[in-house]
Chains A and B, each alone.
Chain A
Amino acid sequence: MKRSVTIKHLEARNLAAIVICCSLAVFIGIMLAKQYMSFTGLEQGRVVTLKQDLDKRATAVGYFFSERFADLEHIGTTRALKGYFENLALGMSMKYGLRSSLFAAARQLSMLMTSKTIGRDPIYSRLVFITGQGDILIDTLGAPDDFPGFCRRLLTPGEKPRETFWNGSDIVVSVPFYFKETYAGQLVSFLPFDTIDRHLVRQSGGSSGVYGMTAGTDPLLLPDRAPLRLPGTDRITPELFADGDVRTLEGEWHDKADARIIAMRTHIPGTPFYIISLNQTESLSGENIFAIMVAFVLLIGVGIFFIWRAATQKLIYGVRLEASRQSEKHFRDLVEFLPIPVGEYGFDFKIRYANREALAFFGYTRTDIDAGIRITDLIQEADLEKVTGRIAVFEQGENPGPIDVNVRRKDGKKIWGRAIPTLIYENGACTGVRTCFIDMTQRRKSEQASIMAAEQEKYALVGQVAGKMAHDFNNILGAIMGNADLTLMDCQDPEIRKTLRIILEQAKRGNILTRNLVAFAKDQEIKEKYFNINRKMDLVLNLLKKELEGITIIKNYEKSPPELLADPGMIEHTLVNLIHNAIHAMGKTDHPVLGLETRSDGNSLIICIQDNGCGIPKMHAKDIYSPSFSLKGSRDLTKSYLPGTKGTGYGLSNVKKYIDKHKGGISFISSEDRGTRFTITLPLVAKTLLPDEKEGLMKKPVVRKKRILIVEDEPAISMVLEKILTSDPFYHTVRLAEDGTAAIELSDCEPFDLVSLDYMLPGRVNGLDVYTHIRKTNKTMPVLFISGNIRFLESMDVLKASDPHMDHLSKPFENLAYADKINQWLQMAQ
């Protein structure tokens, strides 16, 4: 409906355009007729135009000559020529000195000759200095005897005027030179007429006529190209212009025998020369008028056609464009208000569009997008390769479906999510990707928590079994070992002795296995201390000195690593296990090399242990941290280890458990027969708050100058906590208690606003006892438990339910988390 109305309008417009064009044609016809009627006036106008053109040329040539006068007068003012006359006045002879001055003056004239050009032609063909006595002193042509006839009058003694005159093929410009206000000679320049004629007189102008230059008294020699033939002569004589500067002649012009020719003459200012122009003029005939009319009508007809066509196309295009815009706006609005992040990016990785939710989700603004954010800016480094690989697949027009990816917000916060892509096609070609993003962080955390819970449950079960069995099993092993040992002392039969030794050896192995099992199952509390990791590594190497014999050790320690806050025993056990495994793995290696590396990146301490041993088969990579899993002994199917190498299967599972307890990470890369590299990452805890941490804290209300009791048996930790709380921005007063008894005494004697309480304390009084004692007299004072003990953590929920003024922080923790937690509780208590 809308379309038909538009076409109707289009036809009316078309009709209007045609009517206007026809009117225009009639109007032009009338104008042409009028022009024909006023032909005489037109002719007069043409004469005026030609006259103006001629005047312009004459002015240009006149200016050219005034420049030449200026050139010569300038030379008269330069040091070179004056220097010659200065030295001449001192009486110096040519032989001793004066010739040098003359040489300099001659050089000056030569430089003028070469420097002045018009187009590519030199302006001057010769420069001469003639003394007042009529002698040629300098001649750039070097031929003073060959002086042109008409100019010889300059070679007479006495002063000559400033003048320009014609001398055959040259025009001569002559300027007097004065030294100390006395006439000293004449500077004379020769200008080739042909150069002036070619570049100035005949240069292209508004007319296609013939131009020439004359000295006024001389006849004008017409150029060869002139199409003009005047009856009886080929010369324009000066008498022709005796009664005025414009003449109309009858003559032959090209093939036209009875052409009318306008001859005009203009004086060149400052010279005795004239410029003359000859132009043909002709009348307008009726045929010409008709031809012009037809041409105009055709032109207007073609114009109408193109107007109609352009207008039609524009309207149709406009309708389609508007519909397209409406549609696009509709869908844009839909996408813009979707509650999930949606964006588009091209294969140059640049983000073209992001909806409101996407901007809010990733923390960017529309301006950021316009400035050129790349999709790779949103991806965490670990996943970059995966994402760019996927984009390369998209570029091929294939869509393999959703991809799970780690992204980062503008503020650096990391998010785990799923990107669901669709390909964008434009003109049949795949030009980009439209993707929506689902935040999976919470879901992932839940999954991880479930896995951890299941693992802890498994460990707890194993612990219970191990705890119960260990005592009885060790008793059994003790009896076996004791009796076997006694029998061995008395027995002389070699066969029986051999059997007894096997019994003893296997019983000892059973003992080690039991110990490791108990260590694995036991929920050990972390006892943190600050220590130097390099020294710990060296200590472990010393412990394993004997086993390491014959192995090349390459240490690549960071020179001064930051001190690590961790349980030294657990870390030592970890290192012993990993190095022990490496030694076993290199048992069959010809040139075993053990590489040890420590480094830090500000937030973490990284420990690498590398060997060039048998490696871990890919198929077992996921099992190595499982309890009771081993690749050694009877499970060494590929014979990668030396005979007799045995493992309990609990070494790496314990290592993993220790590292998890420290909130660190462990990973490995391994290649069969080429070796294994284990990398452990442990969080670094500074001994005080960092500047940016302080800055973050200051953004919230900070409670200052309160009294706090810190109960902590580890001096390295209590010192750090005290430092954090007593310095900027808190300035609290802190009292320290190293055990439960001291804590109870202090809490009885002094009032506190908050207690920071370690659960595991030396002696008989533990943290829970201190808490119970405090609550007897103070029900509302905030108590913050610090512990990594699983059993305690399990009981926390029950405690919290009954006491809203207590909280806990799991070890190990970051300083900022501790300071923030204390500040929160003090704020709530106010």
Chain B
Amino acid sequence: MARYLWPFFLLTWLFSYPAWGGDLDDVRARGVVRHLGIPYAHFVTGSGDGLDTDIIRLFATSLGLSYVHVPTTWKDAVGDLTGNPMDSRKKVEVKGDLLANGVTILEWRKRFFCFSTPVFPSQIWLIAGADDPVTPIVPGDGLEKDISRVRNKLRGREVTGMARTCLDPGLYGLEAAGASIRYFNGQLNDLAPAVMNKDAQLVLMDAPDALVAIEKWPGRLKVIGPVSDPQHMGVAFRKNTPELKAAFNRFFRKLVADGTYQKLVEKYYPVFPVYYPRFFAGLTGMDSRNNK
């Protein structure tokens, strides 16, 4: 039986191949790169700029295409990019070609998307209001110990995060450290105000967002310490757009090589090369390796 079926499978594969390989051509034929973005920190400001907005706009230009920003939400992002919403079997309209707004590369997200090479570093920090009795840790020998020091401060405290994002406390086992978990219903950008207004005791924020917040409201928020290992952010693509992803990776390497990326980082997150020198050195190394 199998002997008669293999030509059928071969034909099926042959005919389905163009659907995989033609993704970049589809975008070119449409003439526009549709950037799905959620306003977040300095990645997508909502005012037409931001680190990710600028990168994707330049990417569109490099392809000779026009750029359009398609607003979305964390709830709808998966459906808007893939056509298959996370919590429904009903197909929805695909509204964008890629998702980029400081999207952390997480394992569970890889089930829905494929990610570009990392474009920015991140880490999850625990944040408290200035008046909160919990004090920031004194950093020690290693990250593991720093995380442990933070977890020791959580017993009996309420930690607020956001479901289905990198700020989900469940991802870092905080419940096991004795914290009670609460999920925030608002937008990511509202987490810091929630702490300042005492609507939340302790919140999880990713490092880029936390640094923006403490610079914006000095003396009103304090960083207690890290709860996660260093993470990376990337640009999310549909799984059936490998050519588009490859084109982006090529473009990104060029962006780093010609110094444009560093200028954008200097513009939106000038302190980050100081915090994560290894990541930025790695990017430059990646470029030099590729040049070789």
Nearest CB to that of A86 among chain B residues? B219
A107 touches B270 (CB 8 A): yes
Are A96 and B225 CB-contacts (below 8 A) given A82-B218, A86-B219? yes
Interface majority SS (helix, strand, loop, mixed), chain B: mixed
Asked whether A96 lies within 8 Å of B271 as measured between CB atoms, the reply is: no
- Write the nearest CB–CB distance from A739 to chain B, whole angstroms: 81
Contact A97 B211, CB 8 Å, known A87-B218, A90-B219: yes
Q: Would B219 and A89 count as touching, CB distance under 8 A?
A: yes
Is A100 in contact with B222, judged by CB distance below 8 angstroms?
no
Interface size on A, residues (CB 8 A): 21
Residues of A near B274 (CB, < 8 A) are: 99, 103
Q: How far is the CB of B218 from chain A (nearest CB, A)?
A: 3
**Bound complex: CA A101 to CA B275 (Å):** 12
Complex contact B271–A92 (CB within 8 A) = no
CA distance A238 to B274 in the complex (A): 51
Question: Would A86 and B211 count as touching, CB distance under 8 A?
Answer: no
CA–CA, A441 and B223, complex, Å: 101
Q: Answer yes or no: B215 CB below 8 A from chain A CBs.
A: yes
The answer for the CA separation of A107 and B271 in the assembled complex, in Å, is: 10
Residues of A within 8 A of B50 (CB): none
Would B215 and A96 count as touching, CB distance under 8 A?
no
**CA gap between A94 and B223 in the complex, in Å:** 10
Q: Contact partner of A96 among B135, B137, B219, CB < 8 A?
A: B137
Complex CA–CA separation, A94 to B138 (angstroms)? 9
Q: Which residues of A contact B136 (CB under 8 A)?
A: 90-93, 96-97
Q: How far apart are the CA atoms of A90 and B224 in the complex, in Å?
A: 10
Query: What chain B residues lie within 8 Å of A97 (beta carbons)?
Result: 125, 136, 210-211, 214, 222-223
Chain A residues positioned under 8 Å from B218 (CB to CB): 79, 82-84, 86-87, 101
Q: Digitize A95-109: 1 where CB-to-B-CB distance is under 8 Å, 0 elsewhere.
A: 111011101100100
Contact indicator per residue, chain A 170-201, by CB within 8 Å of chain B (1) or not (0): 00000000000000000000000000000000
* Residue pair B222, A91 in contact (C-beta under 8 Å): yes
Category for how many chain B residues contact A: 20 to 34
> What residues on B are CB-neighbors of A86 within 8 Å?
218-219
Separation in Å of the B236 CB from the closest CB of chain A? 27
B170 close to A (CB within 8 Å): no
Q: How far is the CA of A107 from the CA of B270 in the complex (A)?
A: 10
Q: Is the CB of A87 within 8 A of B137?
A: no
Q: Chain A residues near B146 (CB, 8 Å)?
A: 95-96
Chain A residues with Cβ below 8 Å from B210 are 97
Interface residues of A in 303-362 (CB under 8 A from B): none
Residue of A nearest to B223 (CB): A97
Q: Distance in Å from the Cβ of A80 to the closest Cβ of chain B?
A: 9
A93, B211: Cβ atoms closer than 8 Å: no
CA distance A99 to B270 in the complex (A): 12
Residue of B nearest to A95 (CB): B139
Whole-angstrom distance from the CB of B171 to the nearest CB of chain A? 19
Interface flag for B130 (CB, 8 Å): yes
Chain A residue at minimal CB-CB distance from B143: A95
What residues of chain A have their CB less than 8 Å away from a CB belonging to chain B? Answer: 79, 82-84, 86-87, 89-97, 99-101, 103-104, 107
Known: A87-B219, A90-B222, A96-B226. 19 other contacts (CB 8 A): A79-B218, A82-B218, A83-B218, A87-B214, A87-B218, A87-B222, A90-B136, A91-B135, A93-B137, A93-B139, A93-B223, A96-B224, A97-B136, A97-B222, A100-B214, A100-B271, A100-B275, A103-B271, A103-B274
A-B contact pairs, 16 of them (CB 8 A): A86-B218, A90-B222, A92-B214, A92-B222, A93-B136, A94-B139, A95-B139, A96-B224, A97-B125, A97-B210, A97-B214, A97-B223, A99-B274, A99-B275, A101-B218, A103-B271
